[in-house]
Amino acid sequence: MNVKPKTSDDISFEDFRAQILRDYEIAVLSRECSILGRREVLTGKAKFGIFGDGKELPQLAMARSFRNGDFRSGYYRDQTFMMALDLLSPKDFFHGLYATTDIEKEPMSAGRQMGGHFGTYSLNKDGSWKNLTSQKNSSADISPTAGQMPRLLGLAQASKIYRKVKEIQNEGFSNNGNEVAWGTIGNASTSEGHFFETINAAGVLQVPMIISVWDDEFGISVPAKHQTTKEDISEILKGFQRDENNPGYEIIKVKGWDYTALIHAYENASELAREEHLPILIHVIELTQPQGHSTSGSHERYKSESRLKWESENDCNKRFKEWILENKISDEASLNEIEVKIKKEVRTAKKEAWIEYLKPHKEAKKTLVNLLNNLAVKSPNRAFITKIKNDLIAIEEPLKKDLAIKSRKALRYTIGDKSFEKTALINWIDAFLEDSQIKFSSHLYSETESRATNITEVSPIYDSNPEMIDGRVILRDNFDFLFNNYPNALIFGEDSGAIGDVNQGLEGLQKKYGALRVADTGIRETTIIGQGIGLALRGLRPIAEIQYLDYLPYCLQTLSDDLATLLYRTVGKQKAPLIIRTRGHRLEGIWHSGSQMGGIIHFLRGIYILVPRNMTKAAGFYNTLMKSDEPALIIESLNGYRIKEPRPKNLSEICTPIGLAELVKEGSDLTILSYGSTLRIVLSTCEELKEVGIDVEVIDAQTLLPFDLENIVLESVKKTNRLLIVDEDVPGGCAAYLMQDVIERQGAYSYLDSAPQTLTAKAHRPAYASDGDYFSKPNSEDIFEKVYEMMHETNPTEYPKLK
């Protein structure tokens, strides 16, 4: 692209001069924060530091073209950009470095993320949306390299949806789709698959997305020659460049120390992306990294003397100062005065942040010392408690951890005591741990009134002689209701649009609602999820379809590191109510088995995991989630689409509760807990068990995260005194998770008359065909024999040995 000098407004020289000097102040401010931040880590006040030094100038240029309503999806080098937009103060910066747990003082994550990870607030205190068009927005960063790319696609696509789909409500979310999504990434991270998948998808979708590649020619210690073909990411992406006959990208290459070229490049890119809705790559070259990758090492170990000399001479801040002097915009004395002022400001901010960080710890320490002193006076173990007290006094800059350790160790020396002083210490410990723990553990799930677990169950209602229809028709008709009732709802995935998904659950809906609301995508699971996250961050209600559960590993990193942690890492300040639709369970074959539930429930804490046994239950889950504001994965039973179900009269009103297990069949002899397709096998086996006098009670887990909040399984075990968990996951997988919950959390151990058992699939993936399924996963005969064996152990006379 030919980058021509261009300014967005006609301004006077004095205004122009003021802008440049303001930029210089911010560049100096950001650099000084980086320098002092590194020192704080090396002196032990902070655990780790990763900074934006060397990237100041291009970030200032990007900030100049960033408008209200725009979104950033970046990485941990963008502190200058945030400072330029007044979204990050030096004191905020140091509170992030110290991991202050007060959200008012450390507004990015209240100490949950390491420094350098930035976000803005999209939500009010009650969880409702702010007006995103009246503020500059940054989606909350994550550390995994290139992990910010998939969501960037969705943030950009939202502008296209808001511009093209007129019935969608956009007030507070978009101004006719004029918003740009700005992504930033380091040159080495462009080697990741997430980057290339996002590049391709954005080119296909033609969305207003601007990706800046900060290129300092290294990835930690590894130079570009080991990272990128031709050592040049814009060179190898030339095939994406648009031409007269084909849409594609605009690709801009600009030097990171060239202030005027940077300003012009970003202004032109911003205008093009907004007006034409096309993706743009800005490759910012000749950047430096003055302090190396992070505080974990020194770059002098891996950079040559010539490279270090070049970096010193071409540091963007140094070149910026030289440019200002050469063009007589200011003089050296004035710039030196700015530098002295800024350095003092940053030192003061650092000092104040450290004092503020320590203040509540010191106050708690003072209280604890008094409690320990009083306890020692009355205790026969006075010497031991006094030593703990004195050790605590010696810690001049205590952490919460120090206070917890000392207080809990002191309590050990009071075993058998019943003094007032001991009670006072116990009360302090309990209150301190409760108050501290919530600072690290809140907001894994929504804590608003609209959270999914608050949505009241609405059961299906049937005629006396209901019509029996395929399960897929129930889903299709329910999706029809959803898209009609929720204008901001949309669905997309492989084969989801034109053919109405591979199982016809969306049959005819693209024709009715259009190709943007019911859309086909390429085979690219990671960016399908990224589309969903970005769209949801901007107020839409996306349903992202992953064709089969076995394909979830393609996007597991994005789900786990981004979506599942979003609410938690922002302490409830951002949300992405994305629904992931997939299908699995009981299909035959190694890569279509859909049974990796143990891994999924552990990777995806923060996302609801829902396992409906039929399509009516699945429809109810979709309805529940659309009334809520939380992300969830719904796994439809793959072999249930053609199974007949009665048509409910109130299909569009059904709400399947989240977090509640369901008693499906009453019995007296033994409790079986299962879910999904396997539950149908359990129910059919119950009829056979009746023939030998065994009456089984069956419970459907329904939701795995969260699981059985009302302890339905416990109440059943109280009655039957026996428990069997049947699961098609591998041994030690989901069944182990369910067992731990029932035995430990619910406390069912006390009511068992025999050892609880699990019946799972074999340790390998399921083999192909009906025989492969039979010999790989629990079948009816396995269930029968396991139940009979448990009853034989209880009453061998009534149930003689089977074999």
* Residues noted as catalytic: 592
Report d(CA 110, CA 514) in Å as an integer.
42
Whole-number CA gyration radius for the chain: 30
285: closest CA among 197, 218, 200? 218
Q: State how far the Cα of 391 lies from the Cα of 313, in Å rounded to an integer.
A: 50
Residue with tokens 């996306």: 542
Q: Between the CA of residue 621 and those of 235, 298, 475, 610, 611, what are the distances in Å?
A: 48, 52, 11, 8, 9
What is the token pair recorded at 554? 């393609």
Stretch (H or E) spanning 524: none
Q: Are 615 and 645 in contact (CB under 8 A)?
A: yes
| Cis previous bond, 800, omega within 30 | no
Q: How far is Cα 101 from Cα 109, in angstroms, rounded to an integer?
A: 8
Q: How many CA atoms lie within 13 A of 591 on its CB side?
A: 5
CA atoms of 388 and 394, how far apart (whole Å): 10
CB 532 within 8 A of CB 578: yes
- Between CA 235 and CA 1, with CA 55 as vertex, the angle to 5 degrees is 35
Q: Which residue has the tokens 């996302």?
A: 607
In order, the DSSP letters of 549-610 are: GGGHHHHHHHIIIIITTHHHHTTTS----PEEEEEESS--STTS----HHHHHHHTTTSEEE
Distance CA 416, CA 413 (A): 9
Query: Which amino acid, one-letter code, is at 218?
Result: F
Q: Say if CB 467 and CB 646 are below 8 A apart.
A: yes
Burial (CB count <10 Å: 0-12, 13-18, 19+), residue 194:
buried
